[in-house]
Structure 1
Amino acid sequence: MKLFLLELGMIRYYKDRPVCGYLIRCDDGTDVLVDTGPHRDATPDSPIIARTDPGLLEQLAAVGVRPDDVDIVVCSHLDPDHAGNHDLFPGAEFVVQQSHLELARSGTEARLEATRAQWDLPHLKYRTVDGDTTLLPGIELIESGGHITGHQSVLVRLPRTGAVLLAVDAITQEAAMDPDNRPMTRFDLDADAARASTRKLVDLARRENAMVVRNHDPKQWPTLTQWPACYE
């Protein structure tokens, strides 16, 4: 199993924080993409900028993956910086927490509407899960709501590196590793749930001796191994 870290964009209004995605290549040939990033047409004057040179498809191609090769897309959540390119993977199965998909389809959370044209297409195949779930051998989905209902993180167990916890937006920076004193942003909808999820993920990382990848951390990101290199 191999884990590739992809840089899919940048959030300008939070001091140019990176937007990350992840590709997991399994031993049996299954390709799992975690999040699809900001929409590829996001302009330079947008608050969220998509990386286009190279973009998502070019980064995947650099490691030998075509859109049709992607078997599963794990949706951490459907915020516009994470779900802007679902339409590029019509043959994939999209795996999302049931509570989150219900919220998104209800139309009551305005921020999820920004890329609805990309994620809410009738031909896309969604599979819902409820809580912590084994996706495939070595890949665990960890319910981690608070940032938004039904947010999920991903634990990957690699043969050489060991466990890697892709915290996504449950833990976005080093200061957010402290459950009791972590900062909150206006996008974190439930502070109590966010703190509970932080504690859950930090405890999991401790038990697994896992490296925690923080999705929007401009200090950590340059220190990590990024595509086309990988963690094994």
Structure 2
Amino acid sequence: MELYLMRVGTMRATGGPVAAYLVRHEEGDVLIDTGYPRARAGAYAGELKEPVQLDHGQDVVSRLAGLGIDAGEVRDVIISHFDPDHAGNMDAFPRATFWVQEEHYDTARSGAVPRLERFRALWDLPEDRFALVKGDQEFRPGIELVESGGHIPGHQSVLLRPPGARPVLLAIDAIPTSADLDAAERSIYPFDMDEERVRESTRKLADLARRENARIVHGHDPDQWRILPLAPEPFPL
């Protein structure tokens, strides 16, 4: 197993990364999240309200190409949730099955989360493109999907157990920075929808990381990502 961390944009408000992850697995490559819509590359320069700074060549399709991977050939994409900085390029993966928590899929399709509607056309694909997940589930040997709702219903994180190596927990938006590890004291951010579930999921993931002795990669932590090895360099496992 190999892991590549891909910075596919920058949150303008915080300087934190927009992240996607590639897992090279013996059963085939797995992409985790697809980043902000590549059609918006450069838009931040002329629109003050654009939340993500994305330059041409920084999008997930370009990052994958830099690793020798054609997005059109990727067969499995794990989507943490449909926020546009995580699901903004699902249209670039025409052969992929998208693995999403059923709770999140149903909530999004209902129209109950207004912030998902702007780019709905990018994630609201035919039902047969999705594999719906119910709670914690092994995706493949060494890759576990971990339900971690609160930021949004049905958010999921990913635990990697590389053979013979220390596990890695991709917390994504459930614990977006290392300052948010204390469930009782952590910040609740403007886009977090359910404070109680945010704190429950924080506690769940922190306990999981302790049990597994896992390293945690935080999805939007500018300080952590400043020192992490990024693609095309592999994350050391």
TM-score band, normalised by the shorter chain?
Answer: over 0.9
TM-score between the two structures when normalised by the length of structure 2: 0.93
Where do 4+ consecutive residues of structure 1 move more than 3 Å? none
Question: What CA distance in whole angstroms lies between the structure 2 residues aligned with 1:178 and 1:66?
Answer: 39
Written as runs of structure 1 = structure 2, the 5 A alignment for 1:75-224 is 75-122=79-126, 125-159=129-163, 161-224=165-228
- The answer to whether the aligner puts 1:12 opposite 2:16 as a matched pair is no
CA drift of 1:54 comes to 3.3
Sort the Cα spacing of 1:91 and 1:5 in 2 relative to 1 into closer, same or farther, 3 A.
same
Q: CA shift at 1:49, angstroms?
A: 2.7
**SS at structure 1 position matched to 2:170:** strand
Contact 2:8 2:63 in 1 (8 A): no
What are the Cα deviations for residues 46-65 of structure 1, in whole angstroms up to 9, with x where unaligned? 11233432321121112121
Q: Percent identity?
A: 48
Unpaired runs of 5+ residues, structure 1, are: none
CA contact (8 A) 2:57 2:63 kept: no
Give the aligned length.
230
Counterpart of 2:23 in structure 1 is 24
Cα deviation 1:95-136 (Å, max 9, x = unaligned): 000000000100121011122111113386001011000000
Distance 1:114 1:80 in 2: 8
Whole-angstrom CA distance in 1 between matches of 2:164 and 2:62? 27
Task: Give the superposed CA RMSD.
Answer: 1.4
Please give the secondary structure, in 2, of the residue aligned with 1:154. strand
Query: What residue in structure 2 maps to residue 3 of structure 1?
Result: 3
**TM-aligned CA deviation for residue 160 of structure 1:** 5.4
Distance 1:206 1:122 in 2: 39
Could you report, residue by residue, the CA deviation over 1:14-46 in whole angstroms, capped at 9, with x for unpaired residues? x22211110011023x11110001101221131
Partner deviation per Cα, 1:79-99 (whole Å, 9 max, x = no partner): 011110000001000000000
Instruction: Provide the TM-score with structure 1 as the length reference.
Output: 0.95
Q: Secondary structure at the match of 1:82?
A: helix
2 CA distance for matches of 1:75 and 1:116? 14
- 1:33 and 2:23 matched: no
Deviations, residues 137-190 of structure 1 (Å, cap 9, x unaligned): 000000000001000000011235420000000001111101110001111111
- Give the unaligned 5+ runs of structure 2: none
Letter in structure 2 aligned against 1:147:
H
1:189-219 Cα offsets, whole Å, 9 max, x none, are 1111000100000000011111100000000
Cα distance in 2 between the residues matched to 1:166 and 1:27: 20
